[in-house]
Structure 1
Amino acid sequence: MKFLDCTLRDGGYYNAWDFSPELINDYLAAMQAAGVDIIELGLRSLKNSGFNGACAYTTDEFINSLPLPEGMTIGVMVNGSELVGDVPQQEALQLLFPRAASHSPVDLVRIACHVHEFKQALPAATWLKERGYSVGFNLMQVADRTEEEVKALAREAVNYPLDALYFADSMGSMNPEQVATTIQWFRSEWKGPMGIHTHDNMSLALSNTLRALDEGVTWVDATVTGMGRGPGNARTEELAIEVAERRGQPANLVPLMALLRKHFKPMQVHYGWGTNPYYYLAGKYGIHPTYIQEMLSDSRYSEEDVLAVIEHLRVEGGKKFSLNTLDAARHFYRGEPKGQWSPKTRFAGREVLLLGTGPGVARHRAALERYIREHKPLVLALNTQSAIDAELIDLRVACHPVRLLADCEAHTRLPQPLITPYSMLPTDVRDSLADKEVLDFGLNVQAESFAFEATHCTLPTSLVVGYALAVATSGQAARILMAGFDGYGADDPRSGEMRQLFEHYQAAEGALPLTAITPTRYGLHSESVYAL
């Protein structure tokens, strides 16, 4: 059995491979004490775009500067795409590994490649073996491959001197039975050592790894606290216990537990790896975990946004990560911006009172209700806001497909007509609103843009407050009073997004005067509902 820890390689997707010297030194000592056989210290790469730390390149000079544990196998990983790209393979290998293994601290080179790169990348194994390196190949995204495809890959591998043939559950979508079946397919053609690299989308990384060991796999990967791309991997601290039990040899976990407390738990709080319901859905639908990782680290994505993108990728396919695909998926509306209803019929010349979802509405309810009864503004409520008497609300506005789906029952019970981009919504959302009186006002999302047309608008974001402002503006209202826009804490990233939205709106041609009449942190012009 070969127990391999790849924290400094896989975990680097969170911190740009920029691990502190103190962490690395503590890590090396902990790995030796825990019974780890191989440490993969990072990537070795020719790419140099943006800042990445030392573990993104893991040069011989860097490795030689470390207090390497005696007897530990030292590994690095190369992305197969760098061996099948513009640079000829042997030239790339010579640049990556200028010294033979006898003059390098590196013992093991693993090459990670997609199925379509495998055949072309395999000759690298011969070149590396001739220079004295051990070689492993990690096949990614095999979970959805057929039996014949897996066997064909194994037949290709037979022709090359691999020390281990790995497969990775890249999407975290496999269960133990699928792992066992995949191993059996490989084994029908490949008789050499096999390895597995699991992801924890569905909290099955450890179970899948142990099942693989039961099925005869002898190389297993893990990372400290599971730190790795997306939800992460099987956790070294748990696998170390299982490996020690199978070997009948106790492992010293004290340095590893100290490493967690001192370095990795604080990093996990900061970067947020680990499984959650979003990663679970991504695993279930075979969606690349980087989509989730990117959205969770971007304050623009609300809970509704993340779920909507997952649903889009489930239908359209999301096995290969692309920022362009992610950006397109965030635009949830179908077809050209259009609508069937003009807000001028209800808004022209009216004072509009826009009710947000902040606590200011409930706190100042009596004053707001008194103002509405005396001055009769057109009252427009966001989503299902119900902190004041329902009879005083004229219209509701909602635009996010996931939020609409979640609130459809509430909307059908509420008496007010609903303004929404109805004709542009997904079919299931339209069906959920079939019994509701809707006013169809179209929506186009375009960065840093506001535009107000007769039956549709352009917004920089799908936030419902931006849509509500555009409805009133297209409707040629006189002015907008705002209640319940209290704002978030100073450190909450949503505060910045809302401030930016209001700034873009107020700078847009045709924008209406905005006045907050309950407390707000957004820097809006403010007056008191009590003075009104």
Structure 2
Amino acid sequence: MNYMTKILDCTLRDGGYYTNWDFDKELVVEYCKAMEELPIDYVEIGYRSISLKGYLGEYFYCPEYVMKELKELMPSKKLTIILDEKNIRAEHVDTLLKPCIPYITMVRMAIDPKNMKRAIVLAKAVKAMGFQVAFNVMYMSKWKEDSAFLDLLEGLEDTIDYFYMVDSFGAVLPNDVKDIIELVKSKTNVSLGFHGHNNLEMALINTITAIEEGCDIVDATITGMGRGAGNLRTELLLTYFDSKNILKTRYAIMSNVVSSFENLKAHYAWGTNLPYMFSGAFSLPQKQVMEWVGLNRYSLGCILNALNNQKESLSDNIKLPVLQSKKEFKTAIILGGGKSVKHHNTALKKLAKSKENICVVHAGARNVSNFIDLDIKQFYALAGFESEKLLKNIGDFTKIDQQCVYPPFPRNMGTVIPQEIKTISCELESIDFTKASTDSLLAIGIQTAINLGVDTILLAGFDGYDTTIDQTQFMLAQENQNILNDILKLSHINVMAITPTKYDNLETSSIYSLI
């Protein structure tokens, strides 16, 4: 084994995919103090970037004061930042990197193999400023299929200090690591690095294999915190090295910082699961899986169905009959998942019974069981794992003789429909009134009402969220608000909330004034 292998901890950078690159100040201080005391060589503190759309936090941009503070906390460590090559060009280097000179030792570059020529131009500009330069080249499990980009490494020994093999999909096995290292060594004498993802729980053995095959630097993160299924755990690597008498570690210090990040993990739940295992096994993109898992809109079965469709190159696996547009009802009550539906359940039923030409559209399955005996036409807007919720809430699909409505074909997740409700299922031809989402239950419900020809939509159970909400709730609240803003633009449909709501711009009336 290479006893001189260096360790780079990239918790703040890779972990930022879960926190949007914002971390609690006390946690960062604790982390930095632990890094200073542990046998870690490099600490990657985040990205440096030009301004991008949307909110990205402190450790995505790493302003100068952040670099200064972290260097003061970790004076003996070689600090690293990373550039995302797809956004950064040589002309950005002076502005981005001049402030880094007093604090940063190495600049890494995240690189898609197809952009290698462009990356070399950027690398030369970075190297000219005096930094160590590392290439983090992604999609390692695909390199055997097309390794031509490696030919471009010839003559770059004075430009690149480390060439990292990044197992982006968490797909490689130890024999793959050996084969790819042999391939890379045939093309360059640059020192090698390895960054392993843990989809198949192979990050440790792959990293050990990389070291045994001559890698000079490897990555890890505290508790494995990192994009998607996460990375090799720093604490596991250090414990392994200690057991082999390679490095001594201070377990009291390590246990404290690990405990703090485990508390964070309880909230964000990084680490591998069945969809990440599947995506790793077939080298499918992590970003999309992370979004699907994080939204909590889809079951593991839905996500696996979508991944299997990707593997089979299918846009969707089921085509349903289309819900035809016709003037069938005057009014639609659209029921959301808020607690106000249960609270005002009796009034909502009385309202539905008292009006002619009215239907009920359920935006999801949460409240279906409370209205199962209501003798008027009902529609169930379903997406994700709502059909599974429907069965759970009702207990018996034979009780349902209403229409289940799914998003337009093809659906992002493919389609998972229980056999019992296929005969009463249909799909929308399109969602025309908004571009905010095609699989939002609210959007499906509103488009269903539009297709049924209504001129009045009464919303109940769209309570909104309190101010203390997590990132997923915030995203869903924004999505709902955008959908509501779009339907309010239609002059021929009157939209009104009839239970309390925190959403903006909605005309609100009391359900009790209508019965």
Inter-CA distance 395–244: structure 2 relative to 1 (3 Å threshold): same
Q: Which residue of 2 aligns with 1:185?
A: 183
Structure 2 equivalent of residue 463 of structure 1 = 440
Secondary structure at the counterpart of residue 186 of structure 1: helix
CA change 1:340–1:278 in 2 (3 A) is: closer
Structure 1 alignment gaps of length 5 or more? 318-328, 449-458
**1:432 and 1:284, CA in 2 relative to 1: closer, same or farther beyond 3 A?**
farther
Whether the 8 Å CA contact 1:42–1:58 is kept in 2: the answer is no
The residue that corresponds to 2:360 in the other structure is 380
CA 1:222 to 1:443, structure 2 compared with 1: closer, same or farther past 3 Å? same
2:177 partner SS: helix
Shift of 1:160: 2.1
1:443 to 427, 430, 448: 430
Shift of 1:373: 7.1
Q: Note if contact 2:111-2:137 (Cα within 8 Å) is conserved in structure 1.
A: yes
Offset at 1:418? 1.8
Give the paired residue count: 488
Q: Secondary structure at the match of 1:233?
A: coil
Deviations 1:57-85 (A, max 9, x none): 576994598336575444444444578x4
The equivalent position to 2:405 in structure 1, one of 409, 414, 420, is 420
C-alpha contact (below 8 Å) 2:431/2:447 kept by paired residues? no
- Distance of aligned partners of 1:285 and 1:408 in 2 relative to their CA distance in 1, 3 Å threshold: farther
1:3 matched to 2:7: yes
Partner Cα distance (2:459, 2:196) in 1: 50
- Residue 197 of structure 1: SS of its match in structure 2? strand
Residue aligning to 2:71: 66
Q: CA deviation at 1:23?
A: 5.4
Contact between 2:199 and 2:272, CA under 8 Å: does it hold in 1?
A: yes
Q: Check the 8 A contact 1:4/1:40 in 2, yes or no.
A: yes
Structure 1 counterpart of 2:509: 525
Structure 1 position 138, deviation (Å) = 2.3
Q: Which runs of 5+ in 2 are unaligned?
A: none
Residue aligning to 2:297: 303
Residue number among 157, 160, 170 corresponding to 1:160 in the alignment:
157
Alpha-carbon offset, residue 400 of structure 1: 3.0
Question: Is residue 167–residue 195 contact of structure 1 (8 Å, CA) maintained in 2?
Answer: yes
Give secondary structure in 2 for the equivalent of 1:443: coil
Alpha-carbon offset, residue 241 of structure 1: 1.3
Once the two structures are superposed, residues 272-298 of structure 1 have per-residue CA deviations (whole angstroms, 9 ceiling, x without a partner) of 65445554454455444344555677x
Q: CA 1:437 to 1:257, structure 2 compared with 1: closer, same or farther past 3 Å? A: closer
- TM-score calculated relative to the size of structure 1: 0.69
Q: Give the Cα separation in 2 of the matches to 1:360 and 1:519.
A: 7
How many Å separate the matches in 2 of 1:78 and 1:499?
34
Q: What is the aligned-residue RMSD (CA, Å)?
A: 5.2
Cα distance, 1:140 vs structure 2: 1.5
**What does 1:280-359 align with in structure 2 at a 5 Å threshold?**
280=277, 282-293=279-290, 301=295, 303-304=297-298, 339=322, 341-344=324-327, 346-347=328-329, 349=330
Indicate the residue corresponding to 2:142 in structure 1. Answer: 144
State the SS of the aligned residue for 1:146.
coil
Q: Is the 8 A contact 2:165 2:194 kept in 1?
A: yes
One-letter code aligned to 1:511: I
1:446 and 1:120 map into 2 onto residues whose CA distance is: 41
Contact 2:110 2:135 (C-alpha < 8 Å) held by counterparts: yes
Say whether the 8 Å CA contact 2:340–2:463 is kept in structure 1: no
3-state secondary structure, aligned to 1:143 = helix
For residues 282 and 190 of structure 1, what CA distance do their matches in structure 2 show?
A: 30
Tell me which of 219, 222, 228 is aligned to 1:221: 219
Seen in structure 2, the aligned counterparts of structure 1 residues 175 and 405 have a Cα distance that, compared at 3 Å, is farther
Contact 2:162 2:190 in 1 (8 A): yes
Q: Distance in 2 between matches of 1:260 and 1:445?
A: 49
How far apart, CA to CA, are the structure 2 residues paired with 1:435 and 1:505? 29
Deviations 1:219-263 (A, max 9, x none): 21112233434443222222221222233443103233333455x
* C-alpha separation in 2, matches of 1:17 and 1:423: 35
* 1:90-129 CA distance string (max 9 Å, x none): xx76777779x9x966544444422123355457778888
The answer to whether the Cα contact below 8 Å between 2:238 and 2:247 also exists between their aligned partners in 1 is no
Offset of residue 460 of structure 1: 6.4
CA distance in 2, matches of 1:246, 1:154: 37
Question: Counterpart of 1:234 in 2: which secondary structure?
Answer: coil
What is the aligned partner in structure 2 of residue 40 from structure 1? 44
TM-score normalised per structure 2: 0.70
State the secondary structure of the residue aligned to 1:380: strand
Q: In the aligned structure 1, how far is the partner of 2:127 from the partner of 2:353?
A: 84
What amino acid sits opposite 1:217 in the alignment?
Answer: C
Separation of aligned partners in 2, 1:12 and 1:218: 25
Matched, 1:236 2:220: no
Query: Structure 2 vs 1, CA of residues 389 and 224 (structure 1 numbering), >3 Å: closer, same or farther?
Result: closer
Identity of aligned residues (%): 23
> In 2, Cα distance between the equivalents of 1:477 and 1:127?
62
* Correspondence for 1:510 among 492, 504, 507: 492
> Residue by residue, what CA displacement relative to the aligned partner does 1:147-174 show, whole Å, maximum 9, x if unpaired?
6x44861783576245433200123333
Q: Distance in 2 between matches of 1:60 and 1:405?
A: 50
Distance 1:418 1:78 in 2: 51
- Is contact 1:54-1:62 (8 Å) kept? no
| Secondary structure at the counterpart of residue 194 of structure 1 | strand
The CA distance in 2 between the partners of 1:499 and 1:54, in whole Å, is 29
CA distance in 1, matches of 2:502, 2:83: 49
Supply the distance in 2 between the matched residues of 1:128 and 1:500 (Cα, whole angstroms).
42
Amino acid at match of 2:360: L
Structure 1 residues 480-495: aligned runs within 5 Å: 485=461, 487=463, 490=466, 491-492=468-469, 493=473, 494=476
Measured at CA, do residues 267 and 388 of structure 1 come closer, stay the same or move farther in structure 2, by a change above 3 Å?
A: closer
Q: Which amino acid aligns with 2:510?
A: S
- Equivalent position to 1:31, from 20, 30, 35: 35
